[in-house]
Amino acid sequence: MTTATLPDWKAGLEDVIATRSAICTVDGAAGRLYYRGYEIGDLAGRLSFEEVTHLLWFGERPGDAEGPAFAARLAGARGLPAPVAALLRTLPRECHPLDALRTAVSFAATLDPDVRSDAPEANVAKSVRLVALVPAVVAAWHRIRAGLEPVAAPAGGGHAAHFLHMLEGRAPGADVARVLDVILTLHADHELNASTFAARVAVATLADLHAAAVAAIATLKGPRHGGANDDVLAMLKAIGDPAKVEDYVEARIGHRDRLSRAERAAPGARMPGFGHRVYRVDDARARVIRVMAKDMAAATGRTRLFEVAEAVYASVTRRTGLPVNVDFFSAVVYDALGIPPDFCTSIFATARVAGWCAHALEQYADNRLIRPRAHYVGPSPRPLIR
């Protein structure tokens, strides 16, 4: 069959159904997100990130005995393997945190006792180790590139609190840990977003779970996806003053109607943190995070950046009608947590690794190679004449 007889193509696979999944769904018109049938606003802060991870992987929230057992299993996998720490020390200090993470996860595959096994229990064991590894690497790189030693935080405590301890070298307050716990839940999964799709494509070839995680991290980096999170915080800091917002937004997107389509597509001609392939309105996560950003700014005294963010939000929505996405106000929360701009996407990865693993487990359980077609627009068959 030539591609001429296949159904027409959709640029960017927009609205194409590429798989069946029972994990997560998005209602773009209403701005709602559901994990296993639970609305995200009901989950955030009411289940811990560990419980949400259990829900995503196994389909149900853990029971009274299962919850502590699963949290203990995740906690038992904590700790940065010494060879991974040694690898991180060899990286140039200017290495982007997500590149450091991608490299470390790829290397960790060579150390994993189950790397060659795709048995369901081996994949769960690897998922547990990946969920523990990602925050350990992110925190270690945060410290190593600043000339500090990685911190081996005490083994107990929740996932978010443990991560913050590794990051800062001291135990966080309960309120700060709770903020990060909610952020992790809000970012844990998002249906067939680009990095998750990349992970499922890798799994569908029966590549191992670490290979899928590396594909996902690599895909998350782009400014059209998770990379926007870094860009938002860098942009808000560069603007720095609510009074400068209108001029900034005008200079960045005010002249868009005079640009060609290719010029309009350049990252510099877009506002990071706005627009979405599926949502037509601000989504539930963004609404929750906006409130958290306001509260965190007030609690930490870092109100200036929140004011800049509010002014940008008002200007861009008034001008374009684009929905704000999860990356916008989360960057303000990360700033209040003391996280530098180029680490925002790595925090995103710390959460999303739970979703990547959930989708990988689902794909392994009912797999078929993912191999779409291209709508061919090249030359017709022609003879090679020399």
Q: In terms of C-beta density within 10 A (0-12 exposed, 13-18 middle, 19 or more buried), how is residue 47 classed?
A: buried
Q: Which of 28, 67, 169, 275 binds ligand COA (CB under 6 A)?
A: 275
Half-sphere exposure of 113 (CA within 13 A, CB side): 8
276 is catalytic: yes
Query: Shortest gap between Cβ of 305 and ligand COA (angstroms)?
Result: 18
CA neighbor of 38 nearest in space, from 210, 185, 235, 241: 185
Stretch of 284-292, 307-315, 323-331, 350-358 lying at the interface with ligand COA (CB under 6 A):
323-331
276, 282, 342, 359: the catalytic one is 276
Query: Shortest gap between Cβ of 174 and ligand COA (angstroms)?
Result: 30
327, 335, 342, 359: the catalytic one is 327
Cα dist. 90→102, 103, 125, 140, 218 in Å? Answer: 14, 11, 28, 13, 20
Residue 7 structure tokens: 């159904």
Cα dist. 234→221, 273, 317, 330 in Å? Answer: 15, 12, 20, 13
Q: Which of 327, 335, 342, 362 binds ligand COA (CB under 6 A)?
A: 327
Does 315 sit near ligand COA (CB under 6 A)? no
Does 254 sit near ligand COA (CB under 6 A)? no
DSSP 3-state helix, strand, coil percentages of the chain (rounded to 5)?
60, 5, 35
Rounded-to-integer distance, Cα 258 and Cα 361, Å? 47
Half-sphere exposure of 219 (CA within 13 A, CB side): 20
Does 276 sit near ligand COA (CB under 6 A)? yes
Does 28 sit near ligand COA (CB under 6 A)? no
Does 270 sit near ligand COA (CB under 6 A)? yes
Please report where in the chains the tokens 């860098």 appear, as a residue. 234
Rounded-to-integer distance, Cα 73 and Cα 186, Å? 22
Of 237 and 277, the one with the shorter C-beta distance to ligand COA is: 277
Does 63 sit near ligand COA (CB under 6 A)? no
Binding string, residues 210-249; x marks residues near ligand COA by CB under 6 A: -------------xxx--x---------------------
Does 283 sit near ligand COA (CB under 6 A)? no
Residue 189 parent element (H or E): none
Of 303 and 320, the one with the shorter C-beta distance to ligand COA is: 320
Does 319 sit near ligand COA (CB under 6 A)? no
Does 76 sit near ligand COA (CB under 6 A)? no
Tell me the torsion sign for CA atoms 209, 215, 221, 222: negative
Does 189 sit near ligand COA (CB under 6 A)? no
Does 273 sit near ligand COA (CB under 6 A)? yes
Of 317 and 320, the one with the shorter C-beta distance to ligand COA is: 320
Of 73 and 264, the one with the shorter C-beta distance to ligand COA is: 264
Does 304 sit near ligand COA (CB under 6 A)? no
Query: Shortest gap between Cβ of 28 and ligand COA (angstroms)?
Result: 10
Query: Shortest gap between Cβ of 285 and ligand COA (angstroms)?
Result: 10
Contacts by residues 22-25 (CB-CB < 8 Å, ≥ 24 positions apart): 22/59, 22/362, 23/56, 23/189, 23/191, 23/355, 23/358, 23/359, 23/362, 24/56, 24/189, 24/190, 24/191, 24/355, 24/358, 25/191
For the chain, how many helices (H) and strands (E)?
17, 3
Does 277 sit near ligand COA (CB under 6 A)? yes
Instruction: Specify the pairing of strand 38-39 against strand 24-27.
Output: unpaired
Strand boundaries in the chain, DSSP class E: 24-27, 32-35, 38-39
Residue with the shortest CB distance to ligand COA = 275
Please report where in the chains the tokens 């925002």 appear, as a residue. 344
Q: Which of 101, 271, 333, 357 binds ligand COA (CB under 6 A)?
A: 271
Query: Shortest gap between Cβ of 309 and ligand COA (angstroms)?
Result: 14
Q: List residues near ligand COA by CB under 6 A.
A: 12, 223-225, 228, 253, 261, 264, 270-277, 320, 322, 325-327
Supply the residues annotated as catalytic. Answer: 276, 327
